[in-house]
Amino acid sequence: MLAANRLGYCTAVLLTLAAAVSGQHEPHWLASRNTIVHLFEWKWTDIAAECERFLAPRGFAGVQVSPVAENVVIPGRPWWERYQPVSYKLITRSGNETEFADMVRRCNDVGVRIYVDVLLNHMAATHEGAVYGTGGSVAYPSAKYFPAVPYTEEDFHDTCDIQDWNDRYQVQNCELICLKDLDQSSVRVRTHLLRFLNYLVELGVAGFRVDAAKHIPAEELKLIYDNVVNLNTAHGFPFNARPFIYQEVVDHGYEAVSKYEYSPLGAVTEFRFSEEIGGAFRGHNQLKWLRNWGPAWGFLPSAHAFVFVDNHDNQREGGRVLTYKNAKQYKMATAFTLAYPYGITRVMSSFDFVEHDQAPPADADEVILSPQFDTAGACMNGWVCEHRWRQIYNMIGFKNAVRGTEMSNWWDNDDNQIAFCRGNRGFIAFNGNNWELTQRLYTCLSAGVYCDVISGALVNGKCTGKAVLVDEWGFADIKLGADEFDGVLAIHVQAKMEERKERLERNLIRLLATRACRQCHLYLILKLKCAPCIKIMEEYSVYTLKSKSSDFYLNSRRYFVMK
């Protein structure tokens, strides 16, 4: 009887909401925004303030928050204790349910969506005797007894360790590092999980990062996803909108459980992206090969790929993955990630760590510290806050400005200097060589002066960093020294200086005259025997030519000086 009921339930779920699955790939970003930031281990009150004071004004689309469910309290408070739930109460080191709900509301009010890191695979790992949660709940993980849910032993798979990662059964039924493995084929287990997810949707979240998704069969996850309620319209979501889902599936290309099994259900974390982009900007692969970045590298299709330079796990594992500790290369890799049209992007915002298990910044009572900021807005007191690095948040602006355009006009020096356009809205160049990049390149942009958003920005009509002059044909002289602080230059339409007509005309004449006269000797110019130069002068009504040492001056309707 029970088997028949289960079969009927599964059949009904598969037949209903079939069209809703594609909606789970939609992040529900506002306007032109299109990048998520992971504010790793931040408190809810601090995230709410950050949405209002920094993320919304800088064009960030959303925030991935650390797990919200009550977790076991472990001596030393390692960051990974958040991944050992004991109940689904919304109380953690980041705050309580009231603070969480307030954060979601305030972030939604300024157009920044919230995505929750959820744990559907397991509960807390083996611990001797009773353990206590961040909300005061008691659990007995070794006995698989979590009364605050409640879960009992029958809600879990039989105890076994994953010893062979090429064995599908072990990967999806045994315990990941002793974490008690839930049986998602059970209606009872799915009911508890759905109650948790649906309540988060009611509070206004836009979607979920599903931790350890590969350890749950895709067909069982589908049963859960299909029964999550639609997003809450009271928080600005459209009717019938489905929660955005992105699933942690570590697949290096030779796994028994493939990322392609999960991509029809929602986006999937593309871990090979981190490894390959880290290898390229570390110098292990030439940047010229990034021209066909994406599925040609064995990655998921762009709409299914959730991508990042590093995340909270692999930044602690070493290898080829770049982190904030490799600042120049990290910023270059992040700039490429945000400039190249591939994947759903997330940037990392870390706390400084020396040891793998190190806790987030906290006071003597183990209360997480709120980030403090210096006069430039950078984080202090143990927080790294890569999202507040100018080179990163200005690239968020670049990505927003070029949204909807394709990569075009790729250029490389057959080595580690590359450049490309994003439609007619943006241009970016990288120098990964140990010599200067000096090249006249086509930017695809209209004529004018643009501010490089890596070395500075457009502030009050002026460039605080480099200025790039694009001529009427769309070309510009691009220079990036090998020893410069950053190995990137980026310009876009929203970083263009608004020049007065007179100044634009003067610059245009300067460009034309320079090109026409550059091959003529000064003597010939002064004697009016340089035909190309004379033609330009006549076209722009230049009627006076004077000489002063090595300079020459042309007087037109407006006074023009060229050196």
Give catalytic residues, as residue numbers. 211, 248
Pairing of strands 122-125, 179-181: antiparallel
The secondary structure element, H or E, covering residue 274 is helix 271-281
Burial of 27 (0-12, 13-18, 19+ CB in 10 A): buried
Q: Chain-centre distance of CA 223, in angstroms? A: 29
Q: Say what angle helices 531-539 and 501-517 make with each other, to 10 degrees.
A: 160
Residue positions counted in the chain: 563
Strand blocks (E) in 199-316: 207-210, 244-247, 267-269, 305-307
CB-based burial, 143-178: b 16+ in 10 Å, e otherwise: ebbbebbebeeebbbeeeebeeeeeeebbbbbbbeb
Q: What is the largest CA-CA distance in the chain?
A: 105
- Residue 490: what are its φ and ψ, rounded to 5°? -140, 135
218: left (phi over 0), alpha (psi -120 to 50) or beta: alpha
- Residue 215: what are its φ and ψ, rounded to 5°? -90, 5
Angle at Cα 495 formed by Cα 501 and Cα 38, nearest 5°? Answer: 165
352: left (phi over 0), alpha (psi -120 to 50) or beta: beta
- Cis-peptide, bond into residue 150, ω within 30° of zero: yes
Per the CB < 8 A criterion, the answer to whether 478 and 489 are in contact is yes
Which of 14, 7, 122, 54 has the alpha carbon at shortest distance from 376? 54
d(CA 286, CA 296): 16
Pairing of strands 138-139, 113-118: unpaired
d(CA 387, CA 379): 10
